[in-house]
């Protein structure tokens, strides 16, 4: 790859990337891609053992530094602790991906308890706010960086089964737009808004029912594979997106009509 190659803009050599919910699913695919493109990575999730095992695999495969840190997105103090650990270890953060999320099922809207409602907002919205504020402020004071939020098409096209989750993710879209202004011009903040992906979470789906729905409602007539999130993640993490901020990139196979 020559310096003039368009692909050089996607290089992440010696950058530090933090991915919450990074041990599986879309987060795992992003971690692998960032490390393969030269970044040192922090894998953060509630199951620290899984993070540490995956970190060892990433380091062995890429030669990059990779560490696993316990992190519960619904706990305010965990955001403070994660940010401190990252800066104590690396002295910087160039890319933050708020990917951790939760979407518990419920029997109906009146069956949603206050505890469930609060949990969904805490993990999906409150946690990303606090972590973005802590890291974004330091990015803005240093050399800048990129904050990427993983939202959902439920933010713009919620069903009755995911209404609270969709409301939280709509908040994430708004949060990202505000951060794009708050920490400009050195920090960029953008959203990846995925549709249905065939990750670990999809194992609980009725696949016959899903495939039938996909043929009728999704333009590409299928669910996404985790690797298909990587292009957008690399774009937003790298200098390739140097003039992109406050954007929402919909990756859903043509499922949702609204863009954000």
Instruction: Please state, in angstroms and rounded to a whole number, the distance separating the CA atoms of residues 205 and 197.
Output: 11
233, 192 Cβ separation under 8 angstroms: yes
Instruction: Please state, in angstroms and rounded to a whole number, the distance separating the CA atoms of residues 70 and 86.
Output: 12
Beta bridge partners of 17: 41, 95
In order of 2, 123, 188, the CA distances from 6 in angstroms are 9, 37, 20
pTM for the model stands at 0.94
Query: How do the residues of the chain divide into helix, strand and coil, expressed in percent and rounded to 5?
Result: 50, 15, 35
pLDDT tens per residue, range 122-134: 999 999 999 999 9
Task: Indicate the fold that domain 6-250 takes in CATH.
Answer: Rossmann fold (3.40.50)
Question: In sequence order, what DSSP letters do the residues of 25-93 get, joined into one string?
Answer: HHHHHHHHHHHHTT-EEEEEES-HHHHHHHHHHHHHHH-S-EEEEE--TT-HHHHHHHHHHHHHHHS--
Residue numbers annotated as active site:
165
21, 224 Cβ separation under 8 angstroms: no
pLDDT tens per residue, range 205-247: 778 888 998 899 999 999 999 999 999 999 999 999 999 999 9
Residue 72, token pair as written in the block: 């519960």
DSSP 221: S
pLDDT of 259 higher than 90 = no
pLDDT of 1 higher than 90 = no
> CB atoms < 10 A from the CB of 90, how many?
16
Instruction: Check residue 4 and give its pLDDT.
Output: 60
Instruction: Check residue 260 and give its pLDDT.
Output: 58
**Mean pLDDT, all residues of the chain:** 94
- Locate the DSSP E strands across the chain: 16-20, 40-45, 66-70, 95-98, 145-150, 187-194, 248-251
Residues found in the chain: 260
Counting residues of the chain whose pLDDT is more than 90, the rounded percentage is 85
Residue written as token pair 């708050």: 182
**Residue 199, C-beta contacts closer than 8 angstroms, at least 6 positions apart:** 24, 25, 26, 226
Instruction: Check residue 46 and give its pLDDT.
Output: 94
Instruction: Check residue 51 and give its pLDDT.
Output: 97
């Amino acid at each position: 790859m020559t310096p003039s190659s368009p692909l050089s803009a996607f290089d992440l050599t010696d950058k530090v990337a933090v991915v919450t919910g990074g041990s599986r699913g879309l987060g795992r695919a992003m971690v692998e891609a960032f490390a393969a493109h030269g970044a040192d990575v922090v894998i953060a999730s509630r199951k620290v053992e899984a993070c540490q095992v995956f970190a060892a695999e990433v380091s062995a495969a890429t030669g990059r530094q990779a560490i696993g840190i316990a992190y519960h997105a619904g706990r305010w103090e965990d955001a403070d602790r994660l940010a401190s650990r990252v800066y104590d270890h690396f002295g910087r953060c160039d890319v933050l991906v708020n990917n951790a999320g939760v979407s518990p099922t419920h029997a109906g809207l009146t069956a949603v308890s206050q505890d469930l409602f609060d949990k969904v907002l805490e993990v999906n919205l409150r946690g990303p706010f606090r972590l973005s504020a802590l890291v974004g402020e330091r990015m803005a004071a240093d050399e800048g960086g990129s904050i990427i939020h993983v939202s959902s098409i439920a933010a713009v096209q919620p069903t009755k089964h995911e209404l609270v989750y969709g409301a939280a993710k709509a908040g994430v879209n708004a949060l990202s737009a505000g951060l794009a202004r708050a920490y400009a011009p050195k920090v960029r903040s953008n959203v990846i808004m995925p549709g249905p992906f065939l990750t670990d979470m999809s194992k609980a789906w009725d696949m016959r029912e899903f495939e039938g729905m996909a043929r009728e409602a999704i333009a590409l007539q299928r669910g996404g594979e985790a690797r298909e999130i990587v292009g957008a993640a690399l774009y937003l993490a790298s200098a390739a997106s140097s003039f992109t901020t406050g954007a929402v990139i919909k990756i859903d196979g043509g499922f949702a009509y609204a863009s954000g």
